[in-house]
Structures are given as structure tokens and as C-alpha cells.
Amino acid sequence: MMKYLLSFFLLIFINFGCSQIKEKAITEISQDELNTTFLLDVRTPEEFSAGHIKNAVNINLYDSEFIKKATAQLPKDKTIYVYCAVGARSNQAVKKLIPLGYTVVNLSGGYNAYKAKE
């Protein structure tokens, strides 16, 4: 009887856990926080010229001097929001910038997702 009772509670527990919908947390920033951010587009200059997010700075991830240019142009006192076309290159850039002491955020979906929402 105890075995059946434990099985019953286990099934209830599993069913309850699976039925819970996990919502993605919404991240919000205030206007003041927006002023402390910096947009970095790591796509090629050709991609950047074809369209970019307003006020973004372009430093091509594939440029052999990416780190040198980044350290010369990026402020360490601001959060750097990095994007590319879909997110792969910007993820690589984030991994290069964090060890240099930057606070960096990868923009999910990249420029393509941004354009799709316009």
C-alpha cells in the first residue's frame, strides 16, 4: 500500500512540475540607465553601412586589431551592448571583452531581431 501511495504522490509531483509554465524574466532599464549604455556593432563595415541601430559604434570582430580598437574606443564606465546579425559574433565579442574588464551584454537575436520588431 505504501508503494502505491508513494507512486501516486510521485506522479502528482511530476505532473504538477511539468505543468508549470516558466516565463522568461523581463529585463527593463530606465532612461537614466540607457544613458549609461554603449551600443557596439561587431558586424563588417559593409553590414553596418547597410543598416544599424542608431548611435551604434562599429568595430568589426573579424578585424585583426579588434581588441586594440575596442580598448581605444569603448568606455569602461558604461555597459556595452554588443550585437551582430543574429548573435554568434557578438557572443564571441562578449567573451573577448569581459576579461578586459568591460561590463558587456549580448543583444539576443542581433540586428535581425531588432529589424523584425520595427
Total domains, the chain: 1
**Residue 54 forms part of a structural domain:** yes
The closest alpha carbon to 47, from 55, 58, 63, 37, belongs to 58
pLDDT of residue 76: 94
Q: Which three cell numbers stand for residue 78?
A: 558604461
Residue 76 lies in a domain: yes
Q: Please indicate, yes or no, if residue 64 is contained in any of the structural domains.
A: yes
Tell me which of 31 and 111 has the higher pLDDT.
111
Helix (H, G, I), strand (E, B) or coil at 83: strand
- Is the pTM for the entire model greater than 0.75? no
The band of 31, judged by pLDDT with boundaries at 50, 70 and 90, is low
Instruction: For residue 34, give the amino acid letter.
Output: L
Is 18 inside any structural domain?
A: no
Q: Is residue 68 part of a domain?
A: yes
CATH of the domain at 74: 3.40.250.10
Does residue 63 register a pLDDT over 80? Answer: yes
Domain that residue 94 falls in: 27-117
Instruction: Report pLDDT for 12.
Output: 46
